[in-house]
Structures are given as structure tokens and as C-alpha cells.
Amino acid sequence: MEYGILLSAGNEVDFMVHGLFQYSFFGHKVWITTTHVSILIVMLLLLGFAIAANRAMKHAKEVPSGFQNVVELIVEMLDKMVKGTMGKNASKFRNYIGTVFIFILISNLSGLMGLRPPTADYGVTLPLALMTFALIHFNTFKHNSLKAIWVDKCSPLPPWLPIWLPINIISDIAVPISLSLRLFANVLSGVVMMALVYGLLDLFALIWPAFLHVYLDIFSGAIQTYVFCMLTMTYIQNAIGDGEA
């Protein structure tokens, strides 16, 4: 209990983040945790894939074969997803959305490799959602005049009567919180369920937990990745679209 929120170890059933190494950062006690280790492994995996993909695309052939096929398939799929939601703004955001999509997907799937998924730590999902938040408001101010933003923030009532302004601001602040908590809680519920199965039923957990892994890690993880990226794109599209309508 002394490690603070979500850092404490359970007894038999273990799904918590563990502190591995403590150091002092400007007088604060800071921990290197298991999340850092698993995020490092995920990053190394992605880095290796990126280097291999870069090498494959440097010697790209007219008719793709082998690894080049796989890379083109992934890029085309991500492009199609971004284009389907964002239309003509897709070219500016497909790099960011593609990066976030691949990172969250591999993070969620890393439960299969025996790691604790990095996205089951609120310290990982909150920054992701805060990046979305920053992008939303950057694009709002870039594509709309200040007057249009003010009218929009007072929206159900006329702009000279800003009674709804605080409610609209609260609903803006709720966006990153709900985005991050959705991803966090979904992955965490999978982690807790698998820890309960392996911790309490270790004699009977023979083959059937594989099906739970298929649902909780692969299906749920992929759906939540898709939802996170989809909502990010929709919010950004709304922020841009107001100015052009």
C-alpha cells in the first residue's frame, strides 16, 4: 500500500503495477515500474518492425512480394480508415492516427506475450487522450474565428447570454477523461479477469483460458483501439468542420 495508487501488490492474485526501481526526481519519489518495461518492449518491437519495413520499402518492386506486401497492406488499411472518417483532411492526420493506432494495438496485444499491457496503466492512456484534447483545440482555434467559437460555446442560447458556457466547457473537459478511462478500464478489466483465472483456478486453467485471451486481449483490444482512433478522428473533424460549414 505504500507505493500509492495502483502500485500496490496484491497477495495471490496479482494484476497490479509493480515498482522496480526508485529514484529521486527534483525531490519527488519516482518509480520505474513494470509499465515502463513493457512499454519499452513494445517500443523495441515497433522500432524493429519500422526498420525492417523501411529496408523493405527502399528496395520496393513494382510487383510487391513477401514483406513489402504486408507493409503495403497495413498502410493501405490505415489510410482507408482515416480517409473514411476525415475525408479531405485525411492527409494531415493519417501519420498521427496511424502511429497511435499501431501503438495502442500492439500495447493491447502485448498481454498475449505475457506482459502486463501498458495501456492498463492510467499514466499511459491519459497522455494519449491529452494529445487528442490538444489536437482538438488547436484545430478549433486554427480553423474558426474567435466569434464563431464563442457562439458555439454558448450554443443552445444566443451568444449574449452565456449561461450554458460553463456546461459546454465541462463537456469539453470530459472528452479526454472519458477517452482515457474507456481504454484504461477495458484493458484493465481484461487484465483483472485473466489474473483471477490464473491466480485462483491455476489447477484448472489448462486450455480454455486461450478462448478468454482471444476475447479479452485480441477482440476487445482491437475494438478499443479502433474506437479510440475513430473518436479522435471524429472530434478533430468536428473541430475543423465548424469553420468550413
Partner 1 sequence: MGFDENFIRGCSAIGAGLAVIAGIGPGVGQGIAAGHAAAAVGRNPGAKSDITSTMLLGQAVAETTGLYGLVTALLLMFVQPLLP
Shorter beta-carbon distance to partner 1: residue 53 or 227: 227
As to burial, measured by CB atoms within 10 angstroms (0-12 exposed, 13-18 middle, 19+ buried), residue 169 is: exposed
Q: Is 17 helix (H, G, I), strand (E, B) or coil?
A: coil
Q: How far is the CB of 182 from partner 1 (least distance, A)?
A: 5
> How many helices (H) and strands (E) in the chain?
8, 2
CA 203 from centroid of its chain's CA atoms: 35
What's 206's DSSP letter? S
Shorter beta-carbon distance to partner 1: residue 171 or 189: 189
Shorter beta-carbon distance to partner 1: residue 16 or 56: 16
How far is the CA of 212 from the CAs of 111, 116, 158, 190, in angstroms? 12, 16, 52, 9
Shorter beta-carbon distance to partner 1: residue 8 or 54: 8
User: Strands (DSSP E) along 71-110, which ranges?
Assistant: none
Shorter beta-carbon distance to partner 1: residue 5 or 146: 5
Q: How far is the CB of 230 from partner 1 (least distance, A)?
A: 6
Q: How far apart are CA 30 and CA 89, in angstroms?
A: 41
Q: How far is the CB of 185 from partner 1 (least distance, A)?
A: 4
In the block, residue with C-alpha cell 506486401: 69
Shorter beta-carbon distance to partner 1: residue 70 or 195: 195
Q: How far is the CB of 179 from partner 1 (least distance, A)?
A: 9
Contact set with partner 1 (CB under 8 A):
1, 5-6, 8, 10, 16, 178, 181-182, 184-186, 188-189, 192, 223-224, 226-227, 230-231
Q: How far is the CB of 5 from partner 1 (least distance, A)?
A: 6
Cell matching residue 145 = 474565428
Q: How far is the CB of 21 from partner 1 (least distance, A)?
A: 22
